Amino acid sequence: MIEEGSKSSKSMVEKRQLFMEMRAQNFDVIRLSTYRTACKLRFVQKRCNLHLVDVWNMIEAFRDNGLSTLDHNAEINVSRLETILSSIFYQLNKRLPTTHQINVEQSIGLLLNFIVATYDSEGHGKLTVFAMKAMLATMCGGKILDKLRYIFSQISDSNGVMVYAKFDQFLREVLKLPTAVFEGPSFGYTEHSVRTCFPQQKKILLNTFLDVLMADPPPQYLVWLPLMHRLANVENVFHPVECSYCRSESMMGFRYRCQQCHGYQLCQSCFWRGHASGPHSNQHQMKEHSSWKSPAKKLSHAISKSLGCMPIGEPPHPVFPEAAERPQDLAHTTSTLESPSRLDEEHRLIARYAARLAAEASNSTQRQLIAELENKNREILQEIQRLRLEHEQASQPTPEKAQQNPTLLAELRLLRHRKDELERRMSALQESRRELMVQLEGLMRLLKDEEQKQASQTGSSPHSSPSHSASCTMPMPIRSTSAGSTPTHTPQDCLAGVGDDVLDAFSQGVPRNLRNDLLVAADSITNTMSSLVKELHSVDDGLEDEEENMRNGREKVSSLKHPGKRQSTPSF
């Protein structure tokens, strides 16, 4: 019981949804009932997506659902009406591009509830075929001329003459639309409606019917119908004129110009609500404009009229032949199937419908394939974007996680500074060793030259001391290991920085026991070289320790960058 009650309450909410949304638009503030009715019916038309269905598509839907063979007074139930609406909207979605598809189920529900509320207010669950045709043909999209031609084909006889009884029936059904939007007192049906539209009882053909219903102004009972079409045409029209009341410079839709107040113009919102300012009054005659013409165009238009280059009064519609071709109606095909030409016509009609259905099935398959390809393309693009983000994250130049540990960064900078300092010290020591070896080589050459000079003097003088000669020819135990070239500087330059004994040995004019002094210098250089070698060994040990510390620091950075994953130590 509770479940059934909830279903019924939900159904009542769905039935009232369209009317609740219409009331939320606040159309009742519009002063004139004609504009109020046209705005409400235009809202219903757009909310149910009927403005997307052309009148010719609606006629085709009638034929496809077998309504052309039924009598106008035949009744159909709500379930068949729902089937007809389903075919109309599903065919509409096939014609629309995939980016502009409509919600079919919602459109069917809203329109079905509106039709039932309009034409089955007593709840019988049935309505006539003619009522459904009149309502859908009036509320669908398309040109008003095409709609009136179709309506005339439904209310005229085989000779193309309007039947007053059928027109009266049409007025009964179509005037239920203003009543459904709570505008019945202004446009409700009365017994005098037909005589108001056609005051003289005479033969009404198609052209006369169009002249009356498309006149300016049209019959009072149907004045909202052409206005609803004009509303649809001016929804996106812009007028570069300032409203004299609200001072808005973006005037959209209709524009109204006072015929008495010079230059006084109102936007449609101010005019509909009856706003006025200054000397202007609501009693003044206003002219409705649905487009904007520049002063230059107005001048050329007036000149063309005055010169007779264009007709002063254009007809509201083209003139059709008296025996106009009526839309194809299959209501009487059963009595004329014996004719061979009629049979051929039926075969051609069936073949055309079969070809159309095949084309629609092919288009449906193509649309489904296109939709699948579009979905696959979107998935590929998402995968590409994901891979690109992963690549950018993996190719970061510095480990972001390591930046969160300032102590580790300071330790790394200190290790790098210590490494650079040790490398500079190592380079300086190597340069000093090279210079000492060059100096030693120079000293040895000087020693050899002096020994040769003393040997030559000994050979020429018999009083030379043998011990002194022997001591001068004693071989030198030190050999140069330097690969450098022989220096060309003086002996004093070669001895710079070697030791005090060597400097004393060469500072006097006559050398005192040169061999001993040179040996002392050689011993000094040897000691210096030993100390250099020891210091180099200590530097190498320090470098190894520093490299070990740097390797440990790099392993810490790697562990922060890739937890749980061991990587090779990068080179600095």
pLDDT, position 464: 44
How far is 156 from 169, CA to CA, in rounded Å?
A: 12
pLDDT, position 151: 95
Lowest model confidence (mean pLDDT) among 207-211, 339-343, 429-433: 339-343
Q: Region 335-355: what's the mean pLDDT?
A: 55
Amino acid in the structure at residue 259: Q
pLDDT, mean over the chain: 76
SS3 237: coil
Q: 484 to each of 433, 438, 479, how far by Cα in Å?
A: 12, 7, 14
Check residues 188 and 143 and name the one with the higher pLDDT.
143
pLDDT, position 336: 38
pLDDT, position 167: 93
Angle at 537 between CA 536 and CA 540, to 5 degrees: 85
Helix, strand, coil abundance in the chain, percent, nearest 5: 65, 5, 30
pLDDT, position 41: 96
Q: Please give the structure tokens belonging to residue 515.
A: 């061999």
pLDDT at 345 over 80: no
pLDDT at 163 over 80: yes
Instruction: Tell me the DSSP string of 458-511.
Output: HHH-TT--HHHHHHHTPPPS------SPPP-S-HHHHTTTT-HHHHHHHHSSS-
Say whether the peptide bond before residue 477 is cis (omega within 30 degrees of 0): no
How far is 386 from 221, CA to CA, in rounded Å?
A: 64
Check residues 53 and 299 and name the one with the higher pLDDT.
53
pLDDT, position 113: 93
How far is 327 from 325, CA to CA, in rounded Å?
A: 7
pLDDT, position 434: 80
Q: Region 272-292: what's the mean pLDDT?
A: 87
Lowest model confidence (mean pLDDT) among 100-109, 120-129, 412-421: 412-421
Q: What are the tens digits of pLDDT across the range 43-91?
A: 999 999 999 999 999 999 999 999 988 999 999 999 999 999 999 999 9
Lowest model confidence (mean pLDDT) among 46-60, 70-84, 293-307, 366-380: 293-307
Q: What are the tens digits of pLDDT across the range 452-488?
A: 888 887 765 544 444 444 343 344 444 443 334 444 4
**Percentage of the chain modeled with pLDDT above 70:** 65
Q: Region 406-411: what's the mean pLDDT?
A: 78
Q: Which of 218, 143, 138, 200 is nearest to 175 (CA)?
A: 138
pLDDT at 139 over 70: yes
> Contacts by 385-388 with C-beta closer than 8 Å and gap 24+?
none
Check residues 528 and 342 and name the one with the higher pLDDT.
528
Q: What are the tens digits of pLDDT across the range 193-204?
A: 888 888 776 889
Q: Are strands 255-258 and 265-267 parallel, antiparallel or unpaired?
A: antiparallel
Instruction: Tell me the DSSP string of 314-366.
Output: --SSPPPPTTPPPPP--TTGGGSTTSHHHHHHHHHHHHHHHHHHHHHHHHHHH
The answer to whether residues 267 and 248 touch, using CB atoms and an 8 Å cutoff, is yes
pLDDT, position 553: 62
Check residues 493 and 535 and name the one with the higher pLDDT.
535
pLDDT at 185 over 60: yes
How far is 137 from 327, CA to CA, in rounded Å?
A: 14
Check residues 388 and 28 and name the one with the higher pLDDT.
28
pLDDT at 32 over 60: yes
Q: Region 150-160: what's the mean pLDDT?
A: 93
Q: Please give the structure tokens belonging to residue 259.
A: 């015929």
Q: Is the pTM of this model over 0.85?
A: no
pLDDT, position 270: 92
Q: What's the half-sphere exposure (Cβ side, CA atoms, 13 Å) at 550?
A: 18
Lowest model confidence (mean pLDDT) among 67-76, 85-94, 161-170, 533-542: 533-542
pLDDT, position 306: 54
pLDDT, position 384: 87
How far is 9 from 31, CA to CA, in rounded Å?
A: 35
pLDDT at 144 over 60: yes
